[in-house]
Amino acid sequence: MADLEALLGRRLAAGFEAVAGEPVDPLVRRSQRADFQSDAALGLARRLGRNPRELAEQVVQRAELADLCSRVEISGPGFINLTVAGNALARLLDRLAPDPRLGVARSPAPQTVVVDYSAPNAAKEMHVGHLRSTIIGDAVVRVLEWLGHTVLRRNHVGEWGTPFGMLIEHLLDIGEAEAAHELSVGDLTGFYQAARVKFDSDPDFKERARRRVVLLQSGDPISRRLWSMLVGESKKYFADVYARLDVRLTDADYAGESSYQDQLDAVLAELDALGLVRISDGASCVYPAGFSNREGEPLPLIVRKRDGGYGYAATDLATIRHRLTDLGATRLLYVVGLPQRTHLEMIYETAREAGWLVPPARAEHVGHGSVLGSDGKLLRTRAGTSVKLVDLLAEAVVRARAVVAGKNPDLDPAEQAAVANAVGIGAVKYADLSTDRLKDYVFDLDRMLALDGSTAPYLLYAHARIQAIFRRAGAKPTTPPPVTIAESAERALALELVGFAELVRGVGDTLELHRLAGYLYGLASAFMTFYEQCPVLTAPAEIRASRLVLCELTARTLRVGLGLLGISTPDRM
Ligand code: ARG
CA of 336 to the centre of ligand 1 (A): 7
Instruction: Tell whether ligand 1 has an atom less than 6 A from the beta carbon of residue 159.
Output: no
What is the pLDDT averaged over residues 330-334?
98
Is the pLDDT reported for residue 440 higher than 60? Answer: yes
Is the pLDDT reported for residue 183 higher than 90? Answer: no
Q: Is 246 helix (H, G, I), strand (E, B) or coil?
A: coil
- What pLDDT does 388 receive? 77
Nearest to 65 by CA among 21, 118, 28, 119: 28
Is residue 291 very low, low, confident or very high in pLDDT (cuts 50, 70, 90)? very high
Is the pLDDT reported for residue 379 higher than 90? Answer: no
- What pLDDT does 125 receive? 78
Q: Whose CA is nearest to atom 8 of ligand 1?
A: 156
- What pLDDT does 383 receive? 62
Is the pLDDT reported for residue 38 higher than 70? Answer: yes
CA of 119 to the centre of ligand 1 (A): 5
Query: What domains lie within the chain, and their CATH numbers?
Result: 4-83 (3.30.1360.70), 162-245 (no CATH), 456-564 (1.10.730.10)
- The 10s digit of each residue's pLDDT in 484-509 is 999 999 999 999 999 999 999 999 99
- The 10s digit of each residue's pLDDT in 237-246 is 899 999 999 9
Residues 6 or more apart in contact with residue 293 via CB below 8 angstroms: 299
Instruction: Tell whether ligand 1 has an atom less than 6 A from the beta carbon of residue 121.
Output: yes
Is residue 374 very low, low, confident or very high in pLDDT (cuts 50, 70, 90)? confident
Note whether 134 and 247 are within 8 A (CB): yes
What is the pLDDT averaged over residues 270-275?
98
Q: Which residues pair with 420 in a beta bridge?
A: none
Q: Whose CA is nearest to atom 9 of ligand 1?
A: 156
Nearest to 62 by CA among 126, 104, 30, 16: 16
CA of 162 to the centre of ligand 1 (A): 15
Neighbours of 241 (CB within 10 A): 21
Instruction: Tell whether ligand 1 has an atom less than 6 A from the beta carbon of residue 316.
Output: yes
The Cα–Cα gap between 525 and 488 comes to 14
**Residue to substitute in 121, 156, 159, 350 for testing ligand 1 pocket (most ligand atoms within 8 angstroms of CB):** 156
Ligand 1 atom nearest to 343, measured from its CA: 11
Contacts of residues 48-53 at CB distance under 8 Å and 24 or more positions apart, as own/partner, are: 48/20, 51/78, 52/77, 52/78, 53/77, 53/78
Distance of CA 167 to the CA centre of its chain: 33
Instruction: Tell whether ligand 1 has an atom less than 6 A from the beta carbon of residue 116.
Output: yes
- The 10s digit of each residue's pLDDT in 70-101 is 999 999 999 999 999 999 999 999 999 999 99
Is the pLDDT reported for residue 191 higher than 90? Answer: no
Task: Tell me how long the chain is.
Answer: 573
- What pLDDT does 381 receive? 64
pTM comes to 0.94
Nearest to 219 by CA among 186, 258, 169: 258
Is the pLDDT reported for residue 387 higher than 60? Answer: yes
What is the pLDDT averaged over residues 149-177?
93
Is residue 1 very low, low, confident or very high in pLDDT (cuts 50, 70, 90)? very low
CA of 17 to the centre of ligand 1 (A): 50
Q: Percentage of the chain with pLDDT > 70?
A: 98
Note whether 165 and 212 are within 8 A (CB): yes
Q: Which residues pair with 278 in a beta bridge?
A: 285
Mean pLDDT of the chain: 93
CA of 401 to the centre of ligand 1 (A): 34
